[in-house]
Amino acid sequence: MNAWKKHGAALCYTLPAALIIVAFFITSIAYTLYVSFTDYDGLDSPHWVGFENYARLFQDMTYITSLKNTLIWVVATLVFPVGLGLLFSVMLQRIKGQRLFKNIFYLPYAMSLTVVGVIWVLLFSRTGINFVLTQVGLDKLALDWLNTPPYNTYAMIVASIWQGTGTNMLLFLIGLGSLPKEPFEAAAIDGAGRARTFWNITLPLLNPITIVVLGMSLVNSFKIFDIIWVMTMGGPYRSSETLAVTMYRESFVIFHFGQGAAISIVLTVISIAVSWFYLRQTIVKEA
Amino acid sequence: MRTFSNALLYGCMIVLAVLWLLPIALVLMNAAKSLEDFTQGNIWALPHSFSLFANMKEALHMGELGRGMLNSFGYSFLGAGISILLAAMAAFGVVILRLKGGFYWFLLIYSGTVFPFQMYLVPLFKGYQQFGIYDTFGGMLLFYVAISIPFCMFLLRNYMTTIPFEVVEAAQMDGFRSFGIFARIIFPLLLPPVSVLMLFQFTWIWNDLVFGLTLSRSESVRPVMAGLASMQGIFFRSGVTTLMAGIVLTSIPTIVLFFSLQRNFIKGMVLTVKS
């Protein structure tokens, strides 16, 4: 009796949060899974169509472009914001006035992706970077950035690099600050140069934090939406969509709920598979 | 040789810092110009006038950003506060009261962050219409509470496991009931992670775009970023100065939070990374 009472009390505390999660998210997942096998358009009742929505993803050029763009975003996010973050942190480590520089690079991260998108729309407009390019006589380089595929995707990646490098830099700085001193002293005594010290000592010691930074960037890069929605809305002619944007357009612009649901399932499967594979690899490596 | 490479390093850092600041400088410059000043020059020209406050006022009224900001303050404060409370209670049940199968309850609640948000958009949109909470303040708030719970639960559970159990036993000896232990003993101890979560969730909710677009439509409910995104379409051609002033306005809360509480952010990151 007493045990039950105790258990009941514990349940009273945990249940509200659990119920909200089930009501909002667990049921949503089940519903999305179901809708992805139907032709639901929000008006007529849904008909079962099997894997039709999924098959279309790998036939229609629109979706293949979207898949390709997602891949470009993922690779670029893993290379640039992470690589630059590491580079900045290493450079900053040996500099006076580190705080000032740190804050400058971190500043864009304190703004929302929506705001960042609006700023870079201005920069990539006729009056932005192109104005400077024409002034210095480089007219040929002055493209209509956001309307010319594939440059529109690259342009938006630049905006996201500007925003995201700061956090990675901060995480690397925390990592660098907590490294042991002895290996570096030993390397200095052995007369190892800066480059060799970096490759052979700093990077391996930094591995745990690198894994975290890469993992976080990876997971986020699959879901990129805000910047694209603000800067191009996935256009022109759906040339700069990623899976997240395609999903939104299918569902809420042209009301192909079934197709949109199938895309979100594919997105989920890809991102969970990749994170799982990545986690397993790193765990095996660590062990 | 050494000084040369140091000078080179400084040079590189300064060039990079200028590049990084340039977009923000452009926003400030153009937010300060009067429309006349702006149309005579270009976005790179220095302002000859100062109408930052006039532009901000216009953004608040004409762009309806004022209402959006007010809504988002409500969503962010209340959403973060309520979700922290609910998550703290859930973690209390699992960790301190040792709920049977507690780990599975934790996994259930935490699972909310595992899936990409795209999974939730259509069902929530449909569900909200069905239950009549689409495009309502309460509906938006409820969603922000729900989406914040998993991460709060994650951090608070981890933090609670570090609280020595003797603290709880001592309180039981003193005759505290479970609610007394929660409210008087445990919750005050949670201050460090709670302050971190308050920051994280406030900024997350403030910056959210996609759920604001999906679950609301009218100006009186719309959160700030959804408002800004729609303002962009209208103002980009005719009112760049107003748009830039809008950017300044909507960024002030998060920038102030980030830099005044930078230490907490770093602490929060370390906390998250460690777990």
Q: Which candidate from B97, B109, B124 shows the least CB-CB separation from A28? A: B124
Q: Give bridge partners of residue A48 from the DSSP assignment.
A: A38
Contact assessment for residue A249 and residue B119, using Cβ atoms and an 8 Å cutoff:
no
Contact flag B178-A13 (C-beta cutoff 8 Å) = yes
Q: Which residue of A has its CA nearest to B252?
A: A111
Q: Is the peptide bond before A149 cis (omega within 30 degrees of 0)?
A: no
The token pair at A70 is: 């997602």
Inter-axis angle of helices A27-35 and B118-130, nearest 10: 100
Q: Which candidate from A95, A111, A223 shows the least CB-CB separation from B13? A: A95
Give residue A155's pLDDT. 93
Range of the domain at B239: 58-274
Q: Are B196 and B259 found together in one domain?
A: yes
* Predicted-assembly ipTM surpassing the 0.95 threshold: no
* Domain assignments of chain A as residue spans, ordered by start: 53-286
Contact flag A9-B114 (C-beta cutoff 8 Å) = no
The amino acid that residue B1 corresponds to is M
Residue A41, SS3 per DSSP = coil
In A, which residues are within 8 Å of B97 by CB distance? 6, 9-10, 13
CATH number of the domain at B90, please.
Answer: 1.10.3720.10
Residue B149, SS3 per DSSP = helix
Q: Are B18 and B106 found together in one domain?
A: no
Residue from A5, A15, A19, A21 to probe the interface with B (highest B Cβ count within 10 Å): A21
pLDDT grade for B237, boundaries at 50, 70 and 90: low
In A, which residues are within 8 Å of B75 by CB distance? none
Q: Are B144 and B190 found together in one domain?
A: yes
The token pair at B260 is: 């005044």
Q: From CA A41, how far away is CA A256, in angstroms rounded?
A: 5
Q: Are B39 and B69 found together in one domain?
A: no
What are the pLDDT digits (tens) for B102-147? 889 998 998 887 788 889 999 999 999 999 999 999 999 999 999 9
Contact assessment for residue A89 and residue A173, using Cβ atoms and an 8 Å cutoff:
yes
Q: Which residue of B has its CA nearest to A229?
A: B229
Q: Are B35 and B82 found together in one domain?
A: no
Please, is B249 exposed, middle or buried when counting C-beta atoms within 10 Å of its C-beta (0-12, 13-18, 19+)? buried
Residue A127, SS3 per DSSP = coil
Q: Are B121 and B193 found together in one domain?
A: yes
Q: Which residue of B has its CA nearest to A97?
A: B10
Residue A90 CB partners (closer than 8 Å, separation 6+)? A172, A176, A198, A202
What are the pLDDT digits (tens) for B182-224? 888 888 888 888 888 888 899 999 999 999 999 999 888 999 9
Q: What is the DSSP string of A54-80?
A: HHHHTTSHHHHHHHHHHHHHHHHHHHH
Give residue A277's pLDDT. 78
Measured CA distances, B91 to A284, B27, B197 (Å) = 31, 44, 14
Q: Which candidate from A12, A16, A104 shows the least CB-CB separation from B17? A: A104
The token pair at B269 is: 């990151």
Q: Are B84 and B118 found together in one domain?
A: yes
Q: Looking at the predicted structure, is the pLDDT value of residue B261 above 80?
A: no
For chain B, how many structural domains are there in total? Answer: 2
What are the pLDDT digits (tens) for B240-255? 888 898 899 999 999 9
Topology given in CATH for the domain delimited by A53-286: MetI-like fold (1.10.3720)
Give residue A33's pLDDT. 93
Q: From CA A217, how far away is CA A273, in angstroms rounded?
A: 15
- Total residue count of chain B as it appears in this document: 275
What are the pLDDT digits (tens) for B18-53? 999 999 999 998 888 888 788 777 888 888 888 888
Give residue A1's pLDDT. 40
pLDDT grade for B271, boundaries at 50, 70 and 90: low
Contact assessment for residue B94 and residue A15, using Cβ atoms and an 8 Å cutoff:
no
Contact assessment for residue B113 and residue B87, using Cβ atoms and an 8 Å cutoff:
no
pLDDT-flagged residues of chain A (< 70):
1-6, 281-287
Contact assessment for residue A229 and residue A245, using Cβ atoms and an 8 Å cutoff:
yes
Q: Are B130 and B262 found together in one domain?
A: yes
Q: Give bridge partners of residue A38 from the DSSP assignment.
A: A48
- Total residue count of chain A as it appears in this document: 287
Give residue B131's pLDDT. 93
